[in-house]
């Protein structure tokens, strides 16, 4: 039997090329080897967007369309929405006994996020919510309700997976059962794309991202103003020349080149000329994805059907897990 693989995104906006090269293409590659599930983590997205439910609601459709357009095929990967599985919420409550508040406060993933979200959680985290602090517990439930084996994630999420492993182990031990396999985090060798301004992350709030849904014209404009440096030659040196190396990386990914070789070949081409070429190549690369995406968004019924089918497949498994869980916890009245 194939192992069960679960991945997910928080639906907080449409996906950009950082997601594409960082996770979505990897998902596509893995879908023959594993039994794959893709969760749209709307409940988790609400933990730092509780006051903006419209955005999350719209983004559910956006991220589904983005993934399908790239080739994460709904015939191979089961798509579902987190909030439609009440068993996850139930399991989260049970798991909350198996983790200490101190463990959650020390978690490097959430710690870093809380430090970045000062507007929401305060300069010193004094307004931190129970929900955000606890999202790793809910993510442990996301993974274990399916009894998933493999969870591909970015490096920044590894401590969250580690906690899920600990919770699963603890549950099995305390309630003397073997319900949960211990999930494995799977790092991809996928490259990390920086923002077009050279900052560490492509993100909507920094306005430094190229979205799969952008038009070719928007793409050209964004690349035109992307940060470079004052050198007059190309090299691939992410440490010393992050902004230029990032553009070279994008160029080499879409043209299937090694970035060092690509940089050498680009030599001392003027940046403006390179940017024109990069935008043209990227638009060519994204054209089929954009066309498919357009089609999907124009026919939301099709998307809704995919999500309904996914739910139909996932719910019985969720209830099967919970029947075992309630029995093990002696609350199977």
Q: Residues interacting with ligand TRP, by CB under 6 A?
A: 6-10, 39, 41, 44, 139, 142-143, 151, 153, 157
Q: How far is the CB of 8 from ligand TRP (least distance, A)?
A: 3
Nearer of residues 202 and 279 to ligand TRP, judged by Cβ: 202
Nearest to 187 by CA among 162, 148, 224, 158: 158
Minimum distance from residue 81 beta carbon to ligand TRP (Å): 12
SS3 80: strand
* Category of 235 on φ-ψ map: left (φ > 0), alpha (ψ -120 to 50) or beta: beta
In the chain the first and final C-alpha atoms are separated, in Å, by: 33
- For residue 179, the tally of other CB atoms under 10 A from its CB is 18
- Residue closer to ligand TRP by CB (options 109, 208) is 109
Identify which of residues 41 and 263 has a Cβ nearer to ligand TRP in the complex: 41
Nearer to ligand TRP, 36 or 263 (CB): 36
Q: Nearer to ligand TRP by C-beta: 92 or 219?
A: 92
The runs of H, that is alpha helices, within 75-200 are 86-95, 101-106, 108-116, 118-121, 130-133, 135-144, 158-174
- Report, in Å, the least distance between residue 7 CB and ligand TRP: 5
Least spacing, CB of residue 230 vs ligand TRP, in Å: 36
For residue 297, with 0-12 CB atoms within 10 Å meaning exposed, 13-18 middle and 19 or more buried, which class applies? middle
Q: In angstroms, rounded to a whole number, what is the distance separating the alpha carbons of residues 333 and 321?
A: 16
Please say which residue, 6 or 282, places its beta carbon nearer to ligand TRP: 6
Q: How far is the CB of 106 from ligand TRP (least distance, A)?
A: 18
In angstroms, give the least distance from the CB of 151 to ligand TRP. Answer: 5
| Residue of this chain nearest to ligand TRP (CB atom) | 8
Structure tokens at 263: 């940089």
Least distance in Å: CB of 49 to ligand TRP? 12
Nearest residue (CB) to ligand TRP, 132 versus 211: 132
R_g of the chain, CA atoms, integer Å: 21
User: Any long-range contacts for 225-228 (C-beta under 8 Å, 24+ apart)?
Assistant: 225/196, 226/196, 226/197, 226/275, 227/196, 227/197, 227/198, 228/271
Q: How many CB atoms lie within 10 A of CB 143?
A: 28
């Amino acid at each position: 039997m194939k192992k069960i693989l679960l991945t997910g995104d928080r639906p907080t906006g449409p996906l950009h090329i950082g997601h594409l090269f960082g996770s979505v293409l990897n998902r596509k590659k893995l879908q023959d080897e594993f039994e794959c599930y893709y969760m749209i983590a709307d409940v988790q997205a609400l933990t730092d967007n509780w006051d903006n439910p419209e955005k999350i609601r719209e983004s559910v459709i956006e991220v589904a369309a983005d993934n399908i357009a790239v080739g994460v095929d709904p015939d191979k990967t089961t798509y579902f929405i987190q909030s439609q599985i009440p068993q996850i919420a139930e399991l989260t409550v049970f798991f909350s006994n198996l983790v200490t508040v101190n463990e959650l406060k020390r978690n490097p993933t959430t710690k870093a996020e809380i430090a970045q979200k000062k507007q929401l959680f305060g300069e010193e985290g004094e307004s931190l919510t129970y929900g955000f602090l606890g999202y790793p517990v809910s993510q442990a439930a996301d993974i274990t309700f399916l009894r998933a084996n493999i969870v591909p994630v970015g490096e920044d999420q590894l401590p969250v997976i580690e906690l899920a492993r600990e919770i699963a182990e603890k549950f099995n031990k305390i309630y003397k059962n073997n319900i949960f396999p211990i999930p494995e985090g799977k790092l991809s060798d996928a490259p990390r794309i920086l923002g077009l301004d050279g900052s560490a992350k492509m993100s909507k709030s920094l306005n430094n991202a190229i979205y799969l849904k952008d038009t070719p014209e928007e793409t050209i404009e964004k690349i035109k103003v992307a940060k470079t440096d004052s050198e007059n030659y190309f090299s691939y040196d992410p440490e010393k020349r992050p902004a230029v190396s990032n553009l070279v990386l994008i160029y080499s990914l879409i043209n299937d080149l090694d970035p060092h070789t690509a940089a050498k070949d680009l030599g001392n081409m003027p940046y403006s000329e390179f940017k024109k070429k990069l935008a043209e190549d990227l638009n060519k690369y994204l054209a089929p994805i954009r066309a498919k995406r357009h089609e999907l968004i124009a026919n939301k019924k099709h998307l809704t059907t995919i999500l309904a089918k996914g739910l139909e497949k996932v719910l019985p498994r969720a209830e099967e897990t919970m029947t075992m869980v309630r029995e093990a916890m002696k609350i199977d009245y």
